[in-house]
Structure 1
Amino acid sequence: MPSFFDAPISAAYTLVSSLASLVEPLTGPYAAAVAIVLCTVAVRLLLLPLSLAALRGERSRTTLLPQIRDLSAKHKDDPERLRREIAELQQSSGTTVQAGCLPMLAQLPFFWLLYTVFSTAIVAGQANQLLAGTVLGAGLGLHWPLIAATPAYVVLAVLLAVVAYFSSRRQVRQLDESAPALSRRLARILPYGTLVTAAFIPLAAGLYLLTTTTWTLLERTVLQR
Structure 2
Amino acid sequence: MDLYAFPPIAALLDGAHAVLMTLAGLLEPVIGIASAAAAVVLVTLLVRAALIPVGVSQAKAEQVRSRLAPKLAALQQKHKKNPERLQRETMALYGEEGTTPFAGCLPMLVQAPIVGVIYALFILPTIAGHPNALLEQTFFGVPLGASLAGDLATGTVSPGALIVFGVVIAGIAVVGEITRRVLRPQQPVAAPAAPNRADAAGRAGATGAPANPLAAPGVATALGALQFITAVIAAFVPLAAALYLLVTVAWTLLQRVLLRRRYPLEVTRTA
* TM-score, structure 2 as length reference: 0.72
Matched residue SS, 1:200: coil
User: 2:39, 2:174 → 1: CA distance?
Assistant: 23
The partner residue of 2:171 within 152, 159, 162 is: 159
Q: What is the aligned partner in structure 2 of residue 28 from structure 1?
A: 32
Between the two proteins, the alignment pairs up a number of residues equal to 225
Matched residue SS, 2:237: coil
Q: Deviations over 1:23-59 (max 9, x none)?
A: 1112212111111111111111111112111111111
Q: Contact conserved, 1:143 with 1:199, CA < 8 A, in 2?
A: yes
User: 2:105, 2:187 → 1: CA distance?
Assistant: 17
- Please say if 1:169 is aligned against 2:181: yes
> Structure 1 residues 136 and 102 mapped into 2: Cα distance closer, same or farther (>3 Å)?
farther
Q: What is the aligned partner in structure 1 of residue 141 from structure 2?
A: 137
> Structure 1 residues 85 and 121 mapped into 2: Cα distance closer, same or farther (>3 Å)?
same
Amino acid at match of 1:187: L
Please provide the CA RMSD for this pair.
2.6
> Structure 1 residues 209 and 102 mapped into 2: Cα distance closer, same or farther (>3 Å)?
farther
- Please say if 1:184 is aligned against 2:220: yes
- Please say if 1:208 is aligned against 2:244: yes
Amino acid at match of 1:42: L
| Worse-superposed segment, 188-197 or 50-59 | 188-197
User: 1:184, 1:97 → 2: CA distance?
Assistant: 23
Amino acid at match of 2:60: R
Q: Contact conserved, 1:160 with 1:194, CA < 8 A, in 2?
A: yes
Q: What is the aligned partner in structure 2 of residue 57 from structure 1?
A: 61
Query: Over alpha carbons, which structure has the higher Rg?
Result: 2
Q: Deviations over 1:181-217 (max 9, x none)?
A: 2543343222222123223322211211111111111
User: 1:111, 1:68 → 2: CA distance?
Assistant: 34
User: 1:202, 1:111 → 2: CA distance?
Assistant: 16
| Worse-superposed segment, 151-160 or 129-138 | 129-138
5+ residue gaps in structure 1? none
Amino acid at match of 2:176: A
Q: Contact conserved, 1:23 with 1:31, CA < 8 A, in 2?
A: yes
Q: Contact conserved, 2:123 with 2:240, CA < 8 A, in 1?
A: no
User: 2:183, 2:90 → 1: CA distance?
Assistant: 22
* TM-score, structure 1 as length reference: 0.85
Q: Contact conserved, 2:169 with 2:242, CA < 8 A, in 1?
A: no
Equivalent positions of 1:99-114 (< 5 A) are: 99-101=103-105, 104-114=108-118
> Structure 1 residues 119 and 191 mapped into 2: Cα distance closer, same or farther (>3 Å)?
closer
Q: Contact conserved, 1:115 with 1:204, CA < 8 A, in 2?
A: no
Q: What is the aligned partner in structure 2 of residue 5 from structure 1?
A: 9
The partner residue of 1:224 within 222, 242, 260 is: 260
The partner residue of 1:196 within 210, 228, 232 is: 232
* Higher relative contact order, chain-length normalized (CA < 8 Å, sep 6+): 2
Q: Contact conserved, 1:50 with 1:102, CA < 8 A, in 2?
A: no
User: 1:218, 1:37 → 2: CA distance?
Assistant: 16
User: 1:91, 1:183 → 2: CA distance?
Assistant: 30
Q: Contact conserved, 2:136 with 2:144, CA < 8 A, in 1?
A: yes
- Please say if 1:89 is aligned against 2:122: no
| Worse-superposed segment, 104-113 or 20-29 | 104-113
